[in-house]
Structure 1
Amino acid sequence: MRFNRRFRRVDRGATGTGAGRKLAAAAVVLAAMAGPVQAETLTAVMHSGLRMLDPIVSTAHITRDHGYMVYDVLVAGDGEGVVRPQMADWSISDDKLVYTFTLRDGLRFHDGAPVTAADVVASLKRWGARDGAAAFLMAATAGIAAEGDDKVVWTLTTPFPLLLEVLAKPSSVPAFIMPARVAATPADQTITDYVGSGPFVFSSADFQPGVKVVYNRFDGYKPRSEPASGLAGGKVVNVDRVEWVTMPDNQTAISALMGGEVDLIENVQIDLLDILKSSPDVTVETRDPLGYQVFARMNFKHPPFNDVRLRRAALAALGQEQVMATLIGNPDYYKLCGAIFGCGTPLGSEAGSESLKAGGDPARARQMLTEAGYDGTPVVIMQATDLGTVGTAPVVIAAALREAGFKVDLQAMDWQTLVSRRASQKPPAEGGWNIFTSFISGIESNTPLINPILPSTGDTGWFGWANDPELEALRAAYLKADGLEAQKAVAHRIQEHVLDQVIFVPLGNYPFVQARSNRLTDMLPTAVPVFWNLTLAD
């Protein structure tokens, strides 16, 4: 028998007769007199366990998701991507050099203290020292200052048309607002005080790193009056408690969902979906239309891919269909897409990806290798065997490159080893690498400003260390572009350049498919999983 998880459970052992039944009856009466002693609880299996609690230091998606539970932001994008007021509204000077943010009434931190402009200034400065997109904004900033308790004045040295978009970006490092005492923590150190002003309070006492996280509703949170849309609008919390539990085995999580022990699985393994679809009590759905893009990244520092001709030969050998069919299997759950900013997005263009979408051209790749004088230098491909999302793609890539004439060394390791090793700039023979694969979400890759793979400043750029002044000049031009049409023109030039120089290889798109109990309704269709506005029925 399954008791309602929202209240304390009666002892499931046998009560026997006589005195045993009387004790059980007394327990029920006392529980009824005391009222519910355990809050209405929603239990979710997230895509990974939570260990890092500082959403400014870490770019991990699970840490970002934690941040949205505990903290709030000045502005946020609605369901159409339009920036809306959240903690503050704003005004802009005629010369577009001064932005004044005014905090709305009723903002309080979890410890009861009011949110002030000083808290906002400290938080923005710490965020600005960590986030890649914010670095561009801070370079154009003359100062950020508090004016009284409720106004923040942001002064620029030159107009920055995307200021609000950068502040509102939902990933990887959102501009979360913390108490000034917390934001005073150096940007290269993690915080130890987790007081926020968001709709939930993090329960330190219940935290089991990597295993379980508990959030309680913050009764002092004052939602906005507008309806919720995207990450903007009123964050109305209808449950008392949210628990994130870790279940690494997807089959175990599915059994728990079908048995009523959990309410939500954030990311379901595609080949297990048929099990869930047979249950009348479970809904399977895709929450984020942009989903994720699988990509391959080459190392620009060492042979053979320090030669653009050999990068182009590798690109010619690869096909998206082979990768996605092996990785996902079911064509209903993947899309062939060569747009580095995402298909169907305002900046999306597929220029230069024709051979990828056509399945590759091994004969042309072999010819290109011959013309480039390839000398047989081995290609070291790192394969993460414990992460299904990227574990099979390297195998497909290795086969395609071998067919084209490359000598390939496929090296298996766990994901954490790969993450550590990809930071090594040593030659592949000394512990370095030539290719690795990973994935990136649509909401953090759909503009040249926030896409983390694009920075091409050599040793200070992203893993692989492309050194491409022309690409950097194009990204700078995007920042100055005023209006969507001007931004599109620059973005399409970046698309062509990235595929021509093979900055990275887009290998196809797939969604995060979630499964939820039919008791759980009204979830917002957001790329970031949020737990406000939803309802958990009896």
Structure 2
Amino acid sequence: MRITRRQGLLAAGALMAAPLVARAQSRDRPLRFVVNVGLQNLDPVASPSFVTRNFAYLVYDTLVSLDSKGQYRPQMLEGWDISPDRLTWKFRLRSGLEFHDGKPVTSEDVIASLKRWGGRDSIGRRLMAATAELTPDGANAFTLKLSRPFGGVIEALGKPSVHVPMIMPARIANATPPTQQVPEVVGSGPYIFLRDEWVPGDRAHFRRNPKYVPRNEPADGLAGGKIAKIERIEMLTMPDIALRFAALSRGEVDYLEYAPVDLIPRMQRDRNLVFAKASGMAELMYGVSINHFQAPMDNVLVRRALAQCLDRAEILGGAGFGGELGRPDCTSMFMCGATFENNGGSAAIAAPSIDKAKALLAEAGYKGEKIVVMHPLDSPLLNPFGSVLIDRMKKAGFNVDVQGLEWSAIAQRWVQKNPLEQGGWSVVPVVYTGFDMSDPLSNLGVGFNCTGNQPWGYCDQKMSPVIAQFEAESDPAKRKELAKELQALAIDAATFPIAGQFRSPAVWRTELQGVIDFGFPVMWNIERRA
């Protein structure tokens, strides 16, 4: 459903009528942050959505966390020991860990959570496949024994974005398949989810966890001491861009996950606003999620034709990410400016062309079969990208069935494998962070190869042995060469065509201090100035 300006204004009235707004000048008022799309799924393992990841970091915790320098540090763990052959890893939990239901966090909970995550996530599945045993050593320690070398154990446990290995009670993890949403939210993180106040797709509320024991060190990125300094957090959805800007300017909300691109010049003149400066892995990449299970998208020539529709300059410009915000010349699937940036296979997509797309469709024998494109109307990032994508696909000769929906509805259908006539889909414009894209084992076009655990379902047999080599390799130079080979294979198979790298900064009010500029919302460590 398209959100009209009138609906946005009605939403504004509802927001301003809320009782808490009357205390807008109070330092005790909730911290209100606005996310890009509505929260529909509460499970960080079952859902591939960023909004679920944002939600999960409030209520759950992780064994290992990534700091602002890209280093992995213990979080729920006190530490670990590694055998000389690097096949046996012994981990120790730190003291004071407790779930929101009052039960202590134990090694049994950790093992159950990791196994569930390992049944869903790209890196998790590969780590579990290389694991001979994962066993408890009493209540507060556990051992991971590998059956073969795996070069990124700590990187896997500290994976920062979709899907994050959050720890939940064993009773929930063991009883819920990784593709199904957990029936209850019980974490051990700095905030407690108030489920009775949740309005799916609209708002979610949290209160400070009084029993959370933070690490005794400064907060740094996702690592360090997670101190909840504000009693109450409210995660809101505001589809109307003008409404977001007005609410932030008036102090009715405190933080926007993404600044409205068209309004950035105007917002930069407001001395009451601060813009995020995080770059590198914190930048974003447009891409096209393709349903490889559905004809005609199971034909590699049709997928390559779709890749030729992705003019990065036009897409980024259409979305407002021109100038210093966009990188239209970037053709690396692993993010330009990141560790594994390379040009493997990039000649094929360096100069995308509608004429090339038409030629590839003719070579594929495409006869106008329907292509269902789910177009996210309520996402300021994805709506303009989808519009350019659809226009160029039509020009190339694709028979496009556009289904404009709110992201929460798309997220529900996206994880299904139904036929087109039963609510299935062919193409979804998406956006991912460098945290997801920069590592080949989590990259959307490489890491899920032949795993069968995601709806897009690609499987390139030539890629599998190279991924296995990358998994086992620990030498940085050799890993970079393998990454280049993997990128060339992924571009050739058009597993996940990329459509442009860019920076879309968060913005918050100056009265907030201690904000962690990381690349996505981090709500601990924040307090209001006197």
Give TM class, smaller chain: 0.7 to 0.9
Partner of 2:494: 502
Partner of 2:476: 484
Indicate whether 1:353 and 2:343 are aligned. no
**45 and 433 in structure 1: CA distance in 2 versus 1, 3 angstrom threshold:** closer
Instruction: Name the CA distance, whole Å, in 1 between partners of 2:84 and 2:451.
Output: 40
Instruction: Name the CA distance, whole Å, in 2 between partners of 1:323 and 1:227.
Output: 40
Partner of 1:32: none
Give the C-alpha shift of residue 210 in structure 1: 3.2
Partner of 1:77: 66
Q: Which moved more, 1:49-58 or 1:135-144?
A: 49-58
Give yes or no for contact 2:39–2:52 (8 Å, CA) kept in 1.
Answer: yes
Indicate whether 1:152 and 2:147 are aligned. no
Partner of 2:230: 239
Q: Which runs of 5+ in 1 are unaligned?
A: 11-35
SS of equivalent to 1:516: strand
Indicate whether 1:440 and 2:432 are aligned. yes
Instruction: Name the CA distance, whole Å, in 2 between partners of 1:434 and 1:182.
Output: 33
SS of equivalent to 2:462: helix
Partner of 1:103: 93
Partner of 1:249: 240
Give the C-alpha shift of residue 264 in structure 1: 1.0
Give the C-alpha shift of residue 402 in structure 1: 5.5
Give the C-alpha shift of residue 379 in structure 1: 6.2
Match of 1:142 among 121, 132, 142: 132
Matches within 5 A, 1:131-280: 131-188=121-178, 189-280=180-271
Match of 1:411 among 402, 411, 422: 402
Q: Which runs of 5+ in 2 are unaligned?
A: 1-15
SS of equivalent to 2:498: strand
Amino acid in the other structure paired with 1:479? E
SS of equivalent to 1:72: coil
Instruction: Name the CA distance, whole Å, in 2 between partners of 1:524 and 1:515.
Output: 12
Give the C-alpha shift of residue 111 in structure 1: 4.2
**9 and 390 in structure 1: CA distance in 2 versus 1, 3 angstrom threshold:** closer
Q: Please give the root-mean-square deviation of Cα atoms over the aligned residues, in Å.
A: 3.3
Amino acid in the other structure paired with 1:501? A
Amino acid in the other structure paired with 2:473? A
1:203-236 deviation digits (Å, cap 9, x = unpaired): 3444333333222222322222232222111222
Indicate whether 1:43 and 2:12 are aligned. no
Indicate whether 1:56 and 2:45 are aligned. yes
Give the C-alpha shift of residue 388 in structure 1: 3.9
Give the C-alpha shift of residue 507 in structure 1: 0.8
Instruction: Name the CA distance, whole Å, in 2 between partners of 1:393 and 1:8.
Output: 34
1:104-158 deviation digits (Å, cap 9, x = unpaired): 2332333444332233223223322332321111112222222122211122222
Partner of 1:292: 284
Indicate whether 1:122 and 2:112 are aligned. yes
Amino acid in the other structure paired with 1:264? Y
Amino acid in the other structure paired with 1:265? L
1:161-212 deviation digits (Å, cap 9, x = unpaired): 2111111001212222223333343235543443322222223444333333
Match of 2:512 among 520, 531, 535: 520
Amino acid in the other structure paired with 2:337? G
SS of equivalent to 1:114: coil
**494 and 236 in structure 1: CA distance in 2 versus 1, 3 angstrom threshold:** same
Partner of 1:68: 57
Instruction: Name the CA distance, whole Å, in 2 between partners of 1:350 and 1:49.
Output: 36
Indicate whether 1:92 and 2:85 are aligned. no
TM-score of the two chains, using structure 2 as the length reference = 0.85
Give yes or no for contact 1:90–1:102 (8 Å, CA) kept in 2.
Answer: yes
SS of equivalent to 1:489: helix
Q: How many residues align?
A: 507
Instruction: Name the CA distance, whole Å, in 2 between partners of 1:202 and 1:427.
Output: 36
Amino acid in the other structure paired with 1:134? G
**183 and 353 in structure 1: CA distance in 2 versus 1, 3 angstrom threshold:** same
Instruction: Name the CA distance, whole Å, in 2 between partners of 1:150 and 1:427.
Output: 47
Give the C-alpha shift of residue 364 in structure 1: 5.1
Instruction: Name the CA distance, whole Å, in 2 between partners of 1:426 and 1:122.
Output: 30
Give yes or no for contact 2:87–2:146 (8 Å, CA) kept in 1.
Answer: yes
Give yes or no for contact 1:381–1:411 (8 Å, CA) kept in 2.
Answer: yes
Instruction: Name the CA distance, whole Å, in 1 between partners of 2:274 and 2:252.
Output: 15
SS of equivalent to 1:126: helix
Give yes or no for contact 1:292–1:442 (8 Å, CA) kept in 2.
Answer: yes
Instruction: Name the CA distance, whole Å, in 1 between partners of 2:252 and 2:128.
Output: 47
Instruction: Name the CA distance, whole Å, in 2 between partners of 1:411 and 1:204.
Output: 34
Match of 2:319 among 318, 327, 330: 327
Partner of 2:460: 468
Instruction: Name the CA distance, whole Å, in 1 between partners of 2:369 and 2:20.
Output: 61
Partner of 2:10: none
**147 and 248 in structure 1: CA distance in 2 versus 1, 3 angstrom threshold:** same
Q: Which moved more, 1:227-236 or 1:410-419?
A: 410-419
Instruction: Name the CA distance, whole Å, in 2 between partners of 1:401 and 1:9.
Output: 49
**152 and 322 in structure 1: CA distance in 2 versus 1, 3 angstrom threshold:** same
1:457-496 deviation digits (Å, cap 9, x = unpaired): 6693644443310112222221111222121111100111
Amino acid in the other structure paired with 2:400? D
SS of equivalent to 1:176: coil
Partner of 1:19: none
Partner of 1:342: 335
**521 and 368 in structure 1: CA distance in 2 versus 1, 3 angstrom threshold:** same
**533 and 162 in structure 1: CA distance in 2 versus 1, 3 angstrom threshold:** same
Amino acid in the other structure paired with 2:344? A
Give the C-alpha shift of residue 363 in structure 1: 4.9
1:390-429 deviation digits (Å, cap 9, x = unpaired): 334344345545655x354352431556556666767768
Amino acid in the other structure paired with 1:43? R
Rg (Cα) greater in structure: 1
Instruction: Name the CA distance, whole Å, in 2 between partners of 1:250 and 1:361.
Output: 32
**62 and 146 in structure 1: CA distance in 2 versus 1, 3 angstrom threshold:** same
Partner of 2:8: none
Amino acid in the other structure paired with 1:255? A
Give yes or no for contact 1:287–1:514 (8 Å, CA) kept in 2.
Answer: no
Indicate whether 1:380 and 2:371 are aligned. yes
